[in-house]
Amino acid sequence: MRRYRSLVRCKARSYFLVGGDRDDIIQEGLIGLYKAIRDYDANRQSSFRSFAELCVTRQMITAIKTATRRKHSPLNTYVSLSKSTGNEEDGGERLLTDILAAKEVCDPADIVVSAWEGDFIRKGFSEALSDFEARVLRLYMDGCSYQEIADRLGRHAKSVDNALQRVKRKMEAQIDRCRAC
């Protein structure tokens, strides 16, 4: 490890790790060096140095690719809820958790409108769905698979699938009607 540490540092200079610093990319290179030591086979016709160089480079590139994937962006761009807003107008330090908790307190008019919308949507669903579609939806919401629903209702799994597709279309139409009101 000591002998090839300079190789790792030299390789690390040419790479940049998103969300990390120079030590992080060096650490990845050292992991690659460790894997090279562990996996090197002297019976092969390559020198250890070239094998180690390859392993170190691949480990660094893998770390860089992993760090730049979009699926990790929420982790790399988070906002701490314990962070203060630093807004001096509010009389000092306020945490984001306090602000979010205050937003949960609703206006009574909003509560009434939400209840009305919920009733409107529920009523529309009960009028729009056939008896079969309502039974399929209830069983699906209870966690039954398509085949279990089909067995319970004495139908084919494809008819269950078709019914759920109709339910979905009807629900979307009802929600659109509610928004238009």
Pick the last residue of a domain from 56, 75, 94.
Answer: 75
157 assigned to some structural domain: yes
Q: What's at 103, amino acid-wise?
A: K
23 assigned to some structural domain: yes
Give the chain's length.
181
Give pLDDT, residue 19.
Answer: 73
- Output the domain CATH number for residue 47: 1.10.1740
Pick the last residue of a domain from 15, 41, 75.
Answer: 75
Instruction: Please give the average per-residue pLDDT across 81-100, as a whole number.
Output: 60
169 assigned to some structural domain: yes
Q: Are 25 and 63 in contact (CB under 8 A)?
A: yes
Task: Give the bridge partners for 84, in sequence order.
Answer: 95
As a whole number of angstroms, the distance between CA 151 and CA 181 comes to 40
Give pLDDT, residue 143.
Answer: 87
Q: Is the model's pLDDT at 158 over the cut of 70?
A: yes
Q: Is the same domain home to 11 and 71?
A: yes
As a whole number of angstroms, the distance between CA 6 and CA 29 comes to 11
98 assigned to some structural domain: no
Residue 15: domain span: 5-75
135 assigned to some structural domain: yes
As a whole number of angstroms, the distance between CA 156 and CA 118 comes to 33
18 assigned to some structural domain: yes
Give pLDDT, residue 20.
Answer: 79
Q: Is the model's pLDDT at 14 over the cut of 60?
A: yes
In this structure, how many other beta carbons lie within 10 angstroms of the beta carbon of residue 33?
22
Tens digit of each residue's pLDDT (9 = 90 or more) over 26-85: 999 999 999 999 999 888 888 999 999 999 999 999 988 887 776 656 665 666 666 665
69 assigned to some structural domain: yes
As a whole number of angstroms, the distance between CA 175 and CA 130 comes to 18
Tally of domains in the chain: 2
H or E segment to which residue 102 belongs: helix 96-103
Give pLDDT, residue 159.
Answer: 93
25 assigned to some structural domain: yes
